[in-house]
Structure 1
Amino acid sequence: MYKRIEGVRVSAYIAASLDGFIARENGTVDWLPSPDETDQSGDYGFSEFFNSVDCLVMGRNTLEKVLEFGAWPYEGKRVLVLSTSISQVPDQVKGKAELYAGSLYALLKLLRSEGCSRIYVDGGKTIQSFLKEGLLTDITITTVPILLGNGIRLFDGNEHDIPLKHLETNSFQSGFVQSSYEIEYA
């Protein structure tokens, strides 16, 4: 059932509230501290992680959220947007992002044939889709010390247990706790 692509690592790197939400019900992430509000921990390892990936795959909703932030944060990195509902990327990201509407497995095969060995997937639905198809290899979750009470869950509706192998956990002065796991599909 699960079909990994040899030589391709598919990684998620995401923040979640202590009660497991990645956004409020309306999609906002105003509860995440801005970079100037963080302590000496800086970006919590995100730059190092981002520099280790060949490309980024996100969903349309995540793209729309990123566009609200202003400047395009992914300069110089290939970005693919998963969508069957739009026919072209917004003008702000023409030449910076490309659309993809096929199967995830075919996408990974294509990226591998083009020399990609590590792919970053971002966005709740996108992460869930890669996980459901058995294509996600590892995940890093930074838990933010806040209880939202409700919102959009990172993991929702798994059809079966998915065992994880703990790789490492780091804690920061800010109260953030970051854990990395390898996904061990049955």
Structure 2
Amino acid sequence: MTFTATVFIGTSLDGYIARLDDDIEWLTSRGEKAGEMGFFEFLDSVDAVIMGRNTYDKVIGFGEENWHYGDRHVGVLSTTLAEDADPRVHVYRTMDDLVTDLDKRGIKHVYPDGGRLVQSFLHAGRVDRFIISVAPVLIGSGHRLFGDLAQDVPLRLDTVADVGGGFAQLSYTVEK
């Protein structure tokens, strides 16, 4: 058994997910005007959330009231986070360990969250779909959603939607 993975993420129009100092205020302040953009409906469709260490630290910084993952499996791919750092998460050291464990658990739909983690999933050929909410702003520099790729990743456009607040939401399927 193998899972599918859908990336649900916000970017600036010029393709950044955070400033170089990891600030995302440019996204969150605009996102407040747009609302949740289908995030909670999407979250209801996944049975595991996997994030990178930086994203985990960001989520923890939002406070307990913003831990929206409920009882679904939450993992953090990190070589530095202590395995017992948070009883709500399972810490994975390698992508291979992560994939093996998710398959053993019978996980069907995964939400990979965080720039470097998404890039790791892409490099491993593990992304099946993208839902990208594009913010109405150019920030000029920062952390890109997509880093260098060894080869093209062909996509099929499924939908384009105006989700409010000036955001466009693009849904793509990865053609494998």
TM over 0.5: yes
- Which residue pairs with 2:175 in the alignment? 184
- Tell me, yes or no, if structure 1 residue 151 matches structure 2 residue 139: no
Query: TM-score scaled by structure 2?
Result: 0.91
- Which residue pairs with 1:47 in the alignment? 40
- Tell me, yes or no, if structure 1 residue 18 matches structure 2 residue 13: yes
> Using a 3 Å threshold, how does the CA distance of structure 1 residues 36 and 58 change in structure 2: closer, same or farther?
closer
* Offset of residue 89 of structure 1: 4.8
Q: Which has the higher helix share?
A: 2
Within a 5 Å distance, the mapping from 1:1-186 to structure 2 comes to: 7-34=2-29, 37-39=32-34, 42-71=35-64, 72-90=67-85, 94-104=86-96, 106-185=97-176
State whether residues 77 and 95 of structure 2, in contact with CA within 8 Å, keep that contact through their aligned partners in structure 1.
no
SS at match of 1:170: strand
SS at match of 2:141: coil
1: CA distance, partners of 2:31 / 2:3: 34
SS at match of 1:84: coil
State whether residues 51 and 114 of structure 2, in contact with CA within 8 Å, keep that contact through their aligned partners in structure 1.
yes
State whether residues 137 and 183 of structure 1, in contact with CA within 8 Å, keep that contact through their aligned partners in structure 2.
yes
> Using a 3 Å threshold, how does the CA distance of structure 1 residues 147 and 34 change in structure 2: closer, same or farther?
closer
> Using a 3 Å threshold, how does the CA distance of structure 1 residues 13 and 161 change in structure 2: closer, same or farther?
same
2: CA distance, partners of 1:34 / 1:148: 14
For structure 2, list consecutive stretches of 5 or more residues without a partner in the other structure.
Answer: none
For structure 1, list consecutive stretches of 5 or more residues without a partner in the other structure.
Answer: 1-5
CA deviation vs aligned residue, 1:71-126 (integer Å, no higher than 9, x gap): 22323221100011233353xxx22111011334x422431232210011000000
CA deviation vs aligned residue, 1:22-53 (integer Å, no higher than 9, x gap): 000011111123598324xx311100100000
2: CA distance, partners of 1:149 / 1:97: 34
State whether residues 77 and 98 of structure 2, in contact with CA within 8 Å, keep that contact through their aligned partners in structure 1.
no
